[in-house]
Chains A and B, each alone.
Chain A
Amino acid sequence: MSTAACFAGVLGGVSLSGAAAVAAVPTRVSAAASGLATAAVGVTGLVGGALAVAGDLRPAWVGWLVPLSGASFAADATSGLFLLVIGAVSVVAGLYTVGYAAHGHLGRAPLAVLPVFAGAMLVVPLAAAVTTLLLFWEIMALTSLLLVLAEWRREQVRAAALSYAAMTQLGFVAILLGLVVFAAAAPGHAETFPALRDAAVHLGPGPRAAVFLLTLAGFGSKAGLVPLHVWLPKAHPEAPGPVSALMSAAMVNLGIYGIVRVDFVLLGPGPRWWGLVLLAVGALTAVYSVLQAAVATDLKRLLAYSTSENMGLICVALGTAAVLAAAGRPAVAAVATTAALVHLVGHAAFKTLGFLAAGGVAAVTGQRDLDALGGLARPMPVTTVAFGIAALGAAGLPLGCGFVGEWLLVQALTHAVAAGGTLLALVVPLAVGVVALTTGLGVAAMVKAFGVGFLARPRSEGAQRAGEVPATMIAAMALGAISCGVLAVAPAVLVPVLSRVLPELPTGTAHGPGPALGTLVRLPGVGGSVSPALLAVAVGAGVLLALAAARWGSRRRPAARTAALWTCGGGGLTSRMEYTATSFADPLRRVFDAVLRPDVEHVVIAYAQSPYLLEKVSYRSWVHDTVEVVLYRPVLRAVAAAARGARRAHTGSIHAYLAYGAAGLLVALVVVL
């Protein structure tokens, strides 16, 4: 038995020595050093996660680490779950970095920062005091910002990093304020988590609501919840491949961790409206983000919006759990909580794989625009299969690793019946509709990403020149694909962890049984079961049966051959005639025109002789982030206007500044006296 502080120290040691090693070794091997160091940090995280789940990490206090307050560490099974997920993503992303960075895509500074980022993410769930949490939260934010800036020479990267920096710092301020209000209620202003937990009962309803809303905003912005998501679809795609994977599959989970830790475990269980707020925010996030993903044409931006969407679904599940727990239906609340956790793990698996495959495509072809990709299935078969597995998971279809989580969520909503009277009877069907619409549009987004990006024929020179990625990247993707496959058919592998995590959560199994995740996934108390493994076997058997049926008459059949495409007799097909991602998504864009509000520029130039003879037709369309346009631009304009006003007072004259000082002092004195 060791202490959590010891373990945090090991993590810090491994990541810092990794960073030092990257800085010291020759440039030639710096990529390998960074990748292996990150993977080592990930392995340490996995070990720590296993220890934490088993309950083998004692809480501890380290006085010297943070001035005045000291640092406090503890690990329960909830921390352990997040350690395991982040550790696993770090291992895969680290291995991938070895090959990815050897291509010359990463400088030495980002390579050195990478293991530190992974280490900081792994320490966050171990923090057991406000200061400790905030310290490592900020280290995580800063290191990830440096990694986003890895390709700082490009204008979009700098813009994305600026947006990320502003949002992450505002989020930090919100968390800080929320936790300060919380800690102020604790006896002697103690700031360790056990003290906060005891203090929660003494908190009045007003401050309690303030803490909930502030921490939800702060942690929610990290998880990419609408309307605080605007940085995510900019920063995640602009980061290098493995960093995108780490941010989108590991860092966003810490936003969920914050909500679970502070709002559920420490502050909760809360009143019903907390659950309803979570439900509403999650539903808005899920539908809005999946719509944006369905019309996105940038492969990595599409994946980033899908991250936001899945965090929204997890939030819906947590909200449902909170509402049901408040309404006295603990068994169904446990189903919803399980749905959130299963989906979190599944999302981490398929999103890692998706971003690694997309990173490989971007590295090889130099393109992220789906309208310029295509035809990658032949030159990059392994990457194509990897992305296909990830897309199947992201679409939430059976045989994919996102299915069980979404299935549990729909089941929890179905059995939420008669739990809380009229309001719930109105809210729950809406939530079902939102989840269903999200899945449907998610399928459309993923068919587009895979079908347009990887199948058909290349639409640009970059896509034409594509070749398969190096062996280490393939190995990393293979690891990711295996995890996806295992989670898809055998969710039972999560049972040893979840059976320890769920009793710790107020909406978990503390007050009743949870769903059984065996070969047959069953629900407590109500009917309803599904078996991903047996369903996969059944589909396999069905496919074999269909193959056998297709052999009927094959003996009298002439030999199979290949031939040119028929194309309705047209012939001479060029890639300009193919459907692109934009045209593929056009019907959906039209259906949701009111929400997406695309800008369309349609220019038709006719010959002078006749308006019916056209010389040139050009068509361009952009889909902006509507939330950003409607919500952020006015605020930014107001800030800029205020700054201009303030600038007018800055005349540069020392006399004016002295007068301001005197006036300020006078006002202060008048107010105080």
Chain B
Amino acid sequence: MLSVSGVAGMVTQVVGVAAGAPLLVGWMRQVRARLEGRAGPGPAQPWRDLRKQLHKQNITPDGTTVVFAAAPVVLAGTSLVIAAIVPGVTTGSPLDRVGDLFAVVGVLLLGTVALALAGLDTGTAFGGMGASRVVTIAALVEPTILVAGVALSVPAHSSNLGRIVATTAADPGLVASPAAALAFAALAVVVVAETGRLPVDNPATHLELTMVHEAMILEYTGPRLALIEWAAAMRLTVLLTLLVNLFVPWGVAGAGAGPAGLLVGLGAVAFKVAALGTALAAAEVFLAKLRLFRVPELLAGSFLLGLLAATTSYFLTGPAG
């Protein structure tokens, strides 16, 4: 069960996500800047920001508890765990059997909850507002992920991500099935909502009243803010990886792949995620942020797509074995 290839693949994934996530965010900002006619600071800017934040002093606001201090660490820790589980480079991660799709969703929510509690812990109006909004969105996003997850697990007869990706890679026809198409549409909306991108949240906003993610972290500064920004970038990267590999799994190394296979896997996933990130950034140029109370309509729509995907997959798949 503990193969060298699997462990090496898992380590590659974690290191790749940890190092590459800020680059992805920088790349998406750069794409947007160029499309909007600006020069842009270059893809390495988030890393420079992180380095600057990490050299600042830690400030704990009066009246906050250990929750405030622990939330960034929990958020970053859960993101690293998900990076180790999600099949980005290899389907043979030793943690694949430890956490399936539903557990990954749960761990993801654990990070969201930690940050929401930190927002409430400050006792400020903006902290509470951000927490309330992010929890509302999470409460409506989770059903969609689970239903779409069931739609993808049914043909693979397993909810373990490695198995799903391996099944799709072995039988490319599955990608073209109506169930997969519906599930993709549902998951795409959900990933946009969960990572706080347009049209659900504006990552570049300057107006507190329209913020979701930024409102929660207004009181953070220095190294803790750096951890949160890093973790947010990792969550974006991991979710895009998951989306892209669930539906376009080619290039992912199998369970027993050698170093060459892992390298190919790394290159393939980096390319695919960068391409998806470019598309997302380009689409954001043409999108305006939705009013907060219109967001549930969008999420309800994606939930419906997920439900249709699950129903379709039940009709299309026979029993296991």
Contact = CB atoms under 8 A, between A and B. Distances in A.
B204 interface: no
B59 A563 contact: yes
B132 A417 contact: no
Contact of A456 (B122, B129, B150): B122
B314 A417 contact: yes
A46 to B, nearest CB: 31
A540 B76 CA distance: 11
A383 interface: no
Interface stretch (B29-37, B38-46, B62-70, B271-279): B62-70
Interface stretch (B136-144, B169-177, B281-289): B136-144
Nearest to B70: A543
A556 to B, nearest CB: 6
B113 A531 contact: no
A564 interface: yes
Contact of B98 (A535, A542, A544): A535
Nearest to B154: A417
Given A436-B147, A443-B138, A455-B121, A557 B57 contact: yes
A588 B142 contact: no
Interface string A445-461: 00110111001110000
A591 B295 CA distance: 10
Interface in A495-521: 520
Contact of B311 (A426, A531, A538, A587): A426
A429 B310 contact: yes
A455 B65 CA distance: 8
Interface string A432-444: 1101110111011
Given A451-B131, A457-B123, A525-B320, A565 B62 contact: yes
A584 to B, nearest CB: 5
A586 B132 CA distance: 8
Most chain-B Cβ atoms within 10 A of its Cβ — which of A397, A542, A565? A542
A561 B59 contact: yes
Contacts of B256: none
Contacts of A451: 116-117, 120-121, 131
A562 B62 contact: yes
A559 interface: yes
B99 interface: yes
B214 to A, nearest CB: 11
Given A418-B317, A567-B124, A377 B67 contact: yes
A574 to B, nearest CB: 10
B12 interface: no
A197 to B, nearest CB: 32
Interface stretch (A112-120, A256-264, A403-411): A403-411
Nearest to B55: A553
Contact of B143 (A418, A436, A530, A575): A436
B319 to A, nearest CB: 5
B67 A455 contact: yes
A549 B150 contact: no
B300 to A, nearest CB: 8
A354 B282 CA distance: 48
A526 interface: yes
A410 B151 CA distance: 12
Given A432-B150, A557-B55, A562 B60 contact: yes
Interface string B223-244: 1101100110000000000000
A418 B317 CA distance: 7
Given A397-B113, A425-B315, A565-B62, A538 B84 contact: yes
B142 A443 contact: yes
A450 to B, nearest CB: 7
B58 interface: yes
Interface string A578-610: 110001111110110000000000000000000
Most chain-A Cβ atoms within 10 A of its Cβ — which of B139, B303, B317? B139
Interface size class of A (residues with CB under 8 A): 35 or more
A413 interface: yes
B153 interface: yes
A280 B120 CA distance: 36
Contact of B97 (A424, A437, A444, A531): A531
A565 B307 CA distance: 44
A587 B62 contact: no
Nearest to B317: A417
Contacts of B153: 414, 528
Most chain-A Cβ atoms within 10 A of its Cβ — which of B103, B163, B219, B321? B103
B200 to A, nearest CB: 13
Nearest to A574: B123
A529 to B, nearest CB: 5
B126 to A, nearest CB: 6
A174 interface: no
A225 interface: no
B74 interface: yes
Nearest to B308: A429
A550 B97 CA distance: 29
Contacts of B160: 527-529
Contacts of A430: 307
Contact of A552 (B54, B154, B218): B54
Interface string B102-124: 11001101100100110011111
A443 B121 CA distance: 17
B91 interface: no
A539 B110 contact: yes
B149 to A, nearest CB: 8
Contacts of B224: 550
Contacts of B106: 396-398, 403
A450 B117 contact: yes
B16 interface: no
A567 B118 CA distance: 14
A549 B84 CA distance: 16
Given A455-B120, A565-B219, A538 B102 contact: no
Contact of A398 (B80, B84, B103, B127): B103
Contacts of A528: 100, 153, 158-160
Most chain-B Cβ atoms within 10 A of its Cβ — which of A329, A424, A436? A436
Contacts of B307: 429-430, 433
Contacts of B310: 428-429, 432-433
Most chain-A Cβ atoms within 10 A of its Cβ — which of B123, B223, B227, B311? B123
B56 interface: yes
Contacts of B76: 542-543, 546, 549-550
Interface of B: 18, 51, 54-63, 65, 67, 72-74, 76-81, 84-85, 95, 97-100, 102-103, 106-107, 109-110, 113, 116-117, 120-129, 131-133, 135-136, 138-147, 150, 153-154, 156-160, 163, 208, 218-219, 222-224, 226-227, 230-231, 292-293, 296, 303, 306-307, 310-311, 313-315, 317-321
8 contacts: A398-B99, A432-B150, A451-B120, A528-B158, A550-B227, A553-B51, A561-B60, A565-B124
Closest 7 CB pairs of A and B: A579-B128, A527-B158, A543-B77, A451-B120, A542-B77, A546-B76, A436-B146
Given A398-B99, A546-B80, 8 more contacts: A418-B319, A530-B102, A541-B77, A543-B77, A549-B227, A550-B54, A550-B73, A565-B62
